[in-house]
Amino acid sequence: MTENNRSNRTQQPSQPDVIDLGKLLGLLLDGKWIIIFTTFVFAVAGVTYALLATPIYKADALIQVEQKSTGMPVLSESMGDMFAQESQAATEIEIIKSRMVLGKTVDKFNLTTVASPNYLPVIGKGLAKRMGEEAFIKVERFDIPDYALTGGYQIIIDDSASGAFTLTDSEDKVILKGKADELARSANGEYSLFISQLIGKDGQEFSLGKRSKLDAIQWLSGSLSVSERGKQSGILSFGFEGENQEQIIDLLNDIANNYFLQNVDRNAAEAENSLEFLQNKLPEIKAQLTVNEDALNQYRQDNESVDLGLEAQSTLKVMVELEAQLNELTFKESELAQRFTKEHPAYIAVLEKRKTLEEQKRRLEGQIKKLPKTQRAVLRLTRDVEVNQQIYLQLLNKSQELAIVKASTVGNVRILDGAESYSAPVKPKKPLIAVLATLLGGMLSVAFVLLRAAFHRGVENPDQIEELGLPVYATIPRSEQQEKIVKIQEKNKAKKKLLTAEESLLAFVNPADLSVEAFRSLRTSLHFAMMEAKNNIIMITGPSPAIGKSFVSANFAAIIASAGQKVLLIDADMRKGHIGKGVKLNNDFGLSDYLVNDKSAEEVINIDQVENMHFISKGKTPPNPSELLMHPRFEELCAWASENYDIVIIDTPPVLAVTDAAIVGRQAGTTLMVTRFAKTALKEIEVSSDRLEQAGVETKGVILNAVEKTASSYYTYGYYNYAYKSE
């Protein structure tokens, strides 16, 4: 039967995977209070943070980096090339952020010592400022021994009027006591502390610690921003952010001055190095010139003052010019070797020119060899003298030029604008923070609502159940009146007070309730559905506990009884059945008492609660409920009840929890499965139905209980409300 029933079950085609905008809108409307509350909380938090967060100010300065020059227009082009090198913005920015520049600022302002007031996190300083209790401290000197910890120290103001304070360590041990504007030392002399400014009320605490110079430079570099204004403009914009306006102005001015001074020192150092080289070289050239002059004079004396002919003099002039050019190339090659490799085009050009001049020199030397011996000797000696004279004069001129350059060096950096701070803080941006916090709260709350809906597997639409091929016989709305009845029963249970059946059943307490109308609709539907059933026994079960099976069973029985039919309600959940609990019954015996042969059917039936409605409770809790239900006496009870009553309703335990429902279902002609709105998963319904079919029990239909009017369900399949109206 199971495979045939499963295959014969008419399943409706599933809906295509499309985005249901109506349902999404409904989900957002259902979660509107979550969205509103979360958005409001985030908005309040954002505004609070924006108002109380510590304001951050910004100071800026402007510096121009010019092309390097000697500052002397009359100097030769070769000297200008030696000192003219365009500095790129990226290179200059790296120099500014180097330890060489920033380290001087760290040392000057003692940034390795960190002192700050103790406030509440995030908003504490803002609160103190608004309440006029802002504290301030400036530590000029803090010396600790090498073995001591660098952090965890606390400064406590003892007397704000006199500036007295106490320094403690991380273990609250007193290290020293002192006053502001006075150098305080510990008893052993290992600790010393000088505080120039101390503002705060008595008992105000400050955190004090040391950090390495590298960490201080990193902090300084992180707060400093340097950028070029425009492309290849050479204008560098400095920016520095911090809480204290005076401090950031002083720090930025010092960084700019340090950069300017190192630039001047660097340019002067270039000229000084070249000047030192020339001054060391001049004595050697002068000595060599003296030797050459002496050799020429001596040769002329020995050879009775030999003069050169016109051809020799012309050759000598050309030779001297070649030697001068070669000597100039030597200086240029030395300069290029410091800046480029031998593969650089400029370096290659110098080498090619040298090669050409050396070839000309060799040709001249060949012509000289054709001259008489005496003239050759005089020509050689005269050439040596004139070449060395020219070299000496050239070096002497350059030495004087470099001395002038060194004395007139001003650097190629100019401070255009000194550091100034904006009056308004740049952070936090209060309107932006408030807007972003509000948007973040809205987005997070919407995401939470949608994710909750995505992971929620509860059935909310009868169409979902009918896609499994199971008809939905009734949708029972959630009843506020029933919730009140449950609360009354719980209160009376504590007082050990029992209600009558008419006081505990919704069908009698409020016959006009929408839930009761749904039971009447179910009664009509089953009247026709049971015409083909094998008997008049209805089993009401469900996939899981706490879905309202007992509520449905009891009120459905009451509705049938009110129509004049004789009904027997049996609580077959002998484990946790609670139908009849808190209700006045005429006996305490139930189903379990009958099944163990202790009582007869008439002895376990309660007949004086509601007209036409009789009830059998679960009885005493047995150790083996399933085995008792398989006893022949249960089948006999069902047959007897079917003959003596118009309708028999049996409430059973959950299908997925125990096997009792499968046993009871074989005796019932009609099986109804109760599911709870937004709680019972679709898979639970399918598995429960399959499990009953495996036991030979066909699920006739489903009852969707506790249906709520939600926006998502309204936009999905509609919701109708039709109630009584008093005239």
Does residue 339 belong to any structural domain of this protein? yes
- Residue 658: name the closest of 572, 554, 551, 537 by CA: 572
Residues of the chain whose pLDDT is less than 50? Answer: 1-7, 69-87, 305, 715-727
E strand intervals along 514-579: 537-541, 567-571
Does residue 65 belong to any structural domain of this protein? no
Whole-angstrom distance, CA of residue 181 vs CA of residue 424: 32
Domain final position from 179, 195, 210: 210
Based on the domain organization, do 568 and 657 belong to the same domain? Answer: yes
606 Cβ contact list (under 8 Å, min separation 6): 580, 585, 586, 587, 614, 615, 616, 617
Question: What is the model's pLDDT at position 708?
Answer: 85
Whole-angstrom distance, CA of residue 32 vs CA of residue 37: 8
Based on the domain organization, do 402 and 445 belong to the same domain? Answer: no
Number of domains in the chain: 4
Tokens of 218: 């990193």
Based on the domain organization, do 537 and 441 belong to the same domain? Answer: no
Does residue 140 belong to any structural domain of this protein? yes
Three-class DSSP category at 579:
coil
Based on the domain organization, do 553 and 486 belong to the same domain? Answer: yes
Whole-angstrom distance, CA of residue 398 vs CA of residue 150: 55
pTM for the whole thing?
0.58
Based on the domain organization, do 658 and 579 belong to the same domain? Answer: yes
Does residue 660 belong to any structural domain of this protein? yes
Question: What is the model's pLDDT at position 589?
Answer: 86
For residue 166, give its domain range: 113-210
pLDDT (tens digit per residue) in 181-240: 899 998 888 899 999 988 888 888 999 999 999 999 999 999 999 998 877 788 899 999
Question: What is the model's pLDDT at position 694?
Answer: 93
CATH number for the domain that contains residue 474:
3.40.50.300
Based on the domain organization, do 450 and 382 belong to the same domain? Answer: no
Tokens of 687: 């598995």
Does residue 216 belong to any structural domain of this protein? no
Tokens of 665: 């279902």
Does residue 385 belong to any structural domain of this protein? yes
Based on the domain organization, do 183 and 272 belong to the same domain? Answer: no
Based on the domain organization, do 478 and 529 belong to the same domain? Answer: yes
Question: What is the model's pLDDT at position 307?
Answer: 54
Question: What is the model's pLDDT at position 609?
Answer: 74
Based on the domain organization, do 491 and 375 belong to the same domain? Answer: no
Based on the domain organization, do 573 and 665 belong to the same domain? Answer: yes
Whether 419 contacts 249, CB under 8 Å: yes
Question: What is the model's pLDDT at position 500?
Answer: 79
Based on the domain organization, do 645 and 617 belong to the same domain? Answer: yes
Based on the domain organization, do 303 and 198 belong to the same domain? Answer: no
Does residue 64 belong to any structural domain of this protein? no
Burial class from Cβ neighbours inside 10 Å (0-12, 13-18, 19+) for residue 81 reads middle
Question: What is the model's pLDDT at position 40?
Answer: 94
pLDDT (tens digit per residue) in 108-130: 998 999 998 888 877 777 777 77
Does residue 700 belong to any structural domain of this protein? yes
Whether 671 contacts 700, CB under 8 Å: yes
